[in-house]
Structure 1
Amino acid sequence: MTSAYLVWLLFIAAYDFRQRRVPNWLVLAGALLALAALAWGMGPIQHDWAAALLGAGLGFGFLLLFYALGVMGAGDVKFAGALGLWVGLSALLPVWIIGSILASLHAVLWLILQRWPVAPRLSLVLFGRPAPASDNRSPTRARFIPYAAYLALAAAVWMVWGRQSS
């Protein structure tokens, strides 16, 4: 199941980097795989059902606040819930921290390139066109930061690093 987990993270990261959205079918597939891994005791990060469900609830619930504020897409929120099933409660905080640092670096680089006279084209090459927001409250707000992609990368790094340190 570790390879399925890593492939799922790769798909999430690639899709979010390229299209700035995370499709529901991909989140659902990952959540179902996580539940199967839990049922068979074959998860990449060993934890019990309680930790998985708490991780899913916390991941979804916390990021739901950011979605309500209009600064995060719904796909990021749903992905965080599915990711919580995979990593459990104890690994969720380090994954959030690593993913948020990566996303912050992306945002800073994007801002710098937007202000640099030559950078609008370079920014477009590096970051692509942002996906428009899908909620009705702010139809003109665009999503520039692929947060789910950075969470996916952080989760993969955490899994590999955690396996080597144990």
Structure 2
Amino acid sequence: MINAALFVSWALAVVIFDCFWRRIPNGLVIVGVVLACALAASGYSPFHIAFKDAAFGVLAGLVALLPFYLMGVMGAADVKVFAALGAWCGLHALLGLWIAASVFAGIHALCLIVPAAIKSSLSATAHLVGADGNNKKRARHATFMVGGRRATPYAALLAVSALGSFTLHALGAAR
């Protein structure tokens, strides 16, 4: 039970840091990897994985998302959290977590793009035809920023996906 509470607490901390401060402390990632590996080595992993699976999960998590960081489309914290989730959940769970988080990221992007596009088109219509009926230039382009940042909190979405996976895993074990 404590092992599950440790995972849930760690994952919720990732969500809170990523959503509110858009920064995830390296210490939080390191604690996650160390806890996950220690629990796996002692046989008390909340996902019932062995240490070998945790170690391969860390490596796979780093290798899978590192190219996206190097291309500049993903933050370093996202890569590190994915590696830590590899330690918690194991190599076999990473593809599912990645897919789920990417679907959530797509939904998040739509939630930003659609209102911004509507606002932009309404604003452009109002600015194109002035009160005197003369045409004007379009004021500016739509922005997809929330809280001064354009990026999706991807590490938070990865952690939420892992929490969902854990919940399904726990419900399956309870049967």
Q: Flag structure 1 segments of 5+ consecutive residues without an equivalent.
A: 131-142
Q: Work out the number of aligned pairs and report it.
A: 149
Q: Give a deviation string over 1:95-144, Cα, whole Å, max 9, x none.
A: 1111111111111211112222189xxx76xx4221xxxxxxxxxxxx51
| Amino acid of the structure 1 residue aligned with 2:156 | A
- For residues 171 and 114 of structure 2, what CA distance do their matches in structure 1 show? 36
User: What TM-score does the superposition give when structure 1 sets the normalisation length?
Assistant: 0.83
Q: How does 1:1-166 map to 2 (within 5 A)?
A: 1-117=3-119, 127-130=146-149, 143-166=150-173
User: Higher RCO, 1 or 2 (CA under 8 Å, sep at least 6)?
Assistant: 1
Residue identity over aligned pairs, in percent, reads 37
Runs of 4+ in 1 over 2 A off after TM superposition: none
Q: CA RMSD in A?
A: 1.8
Task: Decide whether the 8 Å contact of 2:37 with 2:55 is kept in 1.
Answer: no
Secondary structure at the aligned position of 1:43 is classed as coil
Q: Flag structure 2 segments of 5+ consecutive residues without an equivalent.
A: 123-143
Task: Decide whether the 8 Å contact of 1:18 with 1:128 is kept in 2.
Answer: no
Show the counterpart of 1:134: none
- For residues 113 and 54 of structure 1, what CA distance do their matches in structure 2 show? 41
Task: Decide whether the 8 Å contact of 1:45 with 1:87 is kept in 2.
Answer: yes
CA radius of gyration, larger in: 2
User: What TM-score does the superposition give when structure 2 sets the normalisation length?
Assistant: 0.79
- For residues 110 and 57 of structure 2, what CA distance do their matches in structure 1 show? 29
